[in-house]
Structure 1
Amino acid sequence: MNRFEYVRAGTVAEAVQAFGAGARFIAGGTNLIDLMKYDVEKPGRLIDITRLPLTGIEERDGGLRLGALATNAKVAYDDRVAQRYPMLRNAILAGASAQLRNAASTGGNLLQRTRCYYFYDAGTPCNKREPGSGCPAIGGVNRIHAIFGASEHCIATHPSDMCVALAALEAVVQVSGPDGERSIPFAAFHRLPGDAPERDTTLKPGEIVVSVDLPERGFAQHYTYLKLRDRLSYAFALVSIAAGLELDGDTVKTARLALGGVAHKPWRNVEAEALLVGKPATRDNFQAAADRIVAEAKPQSENGFKVELARRAIVRGLEQAAAGTPQSLSDKRIQ
């Protein structure tokens, strides 16, 4: 681990002002500290933001505002989240361990970095870690890698469970930076790798996440978060599905579907969602939506199984949501 300067900020303005080349904000540190130990991240300055007044969960315009420093545990066990946004609660509880959820923050969850083997190995090339060095995952060991939205420069996936649910909910991220405050729709917060895979988000230099706003509509009745992984606990998703439906009888009024474990960001296909609107909530219609989504898949040498896994997971997730029988948190076998 390299030597670094440590600064503790008392306000958001102080944190923004302290930012500069080689600086990183740190809150729970559940991802950043690991990256520093592996010599993947080598910040010259750490700006401690844990004293900022951003830990609250507040009512906001009919929805909820999650402070960037609200821990994952605090969000998951907030009664309002459990009652109005159970998809988000289930996604959080499907990830990591209880100990990590007690430390990890909302803002940090949005900013966590890929778990690509090559990214974590400082002895191998990686365009995300060292732009222009290459992507050995392409043609290499790529079982866990992207099947959507990848580029010739990077096929890494985003690891978050929470972000998949936030994408389906169409949350809004509030940030503050040198140029003031701005709102970023969740779909525009993370970016695909393109020719700049080192950039995970659309944040500008020095910007800090202040809060995440949840909309009034939370799909509290018809939802699921379905996570498929190599083992039932403490594993990142091979494929995950956040599904939310609004029904009028058996007819779909609104459909939201986001996938995790398959792309550089939570993956949505709004055209596939639109296919469901105005139609009965049937397996055949769910299959048509799934087919539309996986038609865009471009698997790598070792992860072709993810295409069929995603297809089946989409159908199963939509069936769970339509029936109002979300995936169990205690019994992780597919219901």
Structure 2
Amino acid sequence: MGRSTNQFGKIAARYLAVSAIALILAACGGGGGGASTSTPSEIPSQPAQNRAPQIAGTPATTAQVGATYVFHPAASDADNDTLSFQISSKPAWASFDPASGTLTGTPASNNIGTSSNIVISVSDGTASVSLPAFSIQVQAAPQTDLPPTISGTPPTTIVAGQAYSFRPSASDPNGDTLTFSISGKPAWAAFNTTTGRLNGTPAPADVGSYTGIVIRVSDGTTTVALAAFTITVTQVTNGTATISWIPPTQNTDGSPLTDLAGYRIYYGTSPSNLNQVVELSNPGLTSYMVENLSPSTWYFSMRSFSTDGTESEASGLASKTIL
């Protein structure tokens, strides 16, 4: 039978050739006379490459005494590996959770200062990554402003011509600088805004009542005040003092006193300066009223004198306060 050269014949011959090769390969497979089949070898799979974890977050760099500090970084792992956290240069006042990476603590006053080069890192057991190093500065807690205090009882009456003075007591628990102010100040008085002192000497023309006087103090934030008060200026009222004594009957040597001529009363507003005198030329007197004494404390002493002008020693001091 002749070989076909048409197109179909060429295709058929080609397939026959392939089949023959396949048979030859099968025959060379070895091992006995029976036919055998061959299984292609499997290519080993490559192990998955570990992917490093990720960590992010911006920690606060300041903390205040008495306030809780908390920083919790965000971390993840693309391979879902279990993560653990580490820290270096942890502040002594803080604690660290290796499971969550949370840094927390409450600094005390002895922790004021800066903790530097703090580094938080996370690991998946194979790879480790870190946040940039940071610092935490512990600052003193802001001081709570407390109001100042003011106290004192101002005099409410004064005689014209006498000096008036009142200075309240004031303090501030924060040690703030205090400033005083006044409303309703009498025209005859002066006021010191640094000390709070109100002082002055009213004249007779200032007689009357001055009401609604209020002294205040401020620490720059809070102002407190004394209760409103009144100062009444009264007219000068002259007083009197009656001096009584027992007439002397003998001289200092014990001899009878026969030449008593009278008495001199010395008086003044200072016990060491009795600069006013009343002379009484009647040896029979046993008392005398001193008049026109202005409001003050007056001091009195007496001496007797003889016909030749000789004075006795001074008596003891007596005093009277004229209001």
TM category (shorter chain) comes to under 0.3
User: Given the two structures, how large is their TM-score scaled by the length of structure 2?
Assistant: 0.18
User: Given the two structures, how large is their TM-score scaled by the length of structure 1?
Assistant: 0.17
Q: Which has the higher contact order (CA 8 A, sep 6+)?
A: 1
Higher Rg of the two aligned structures = 2
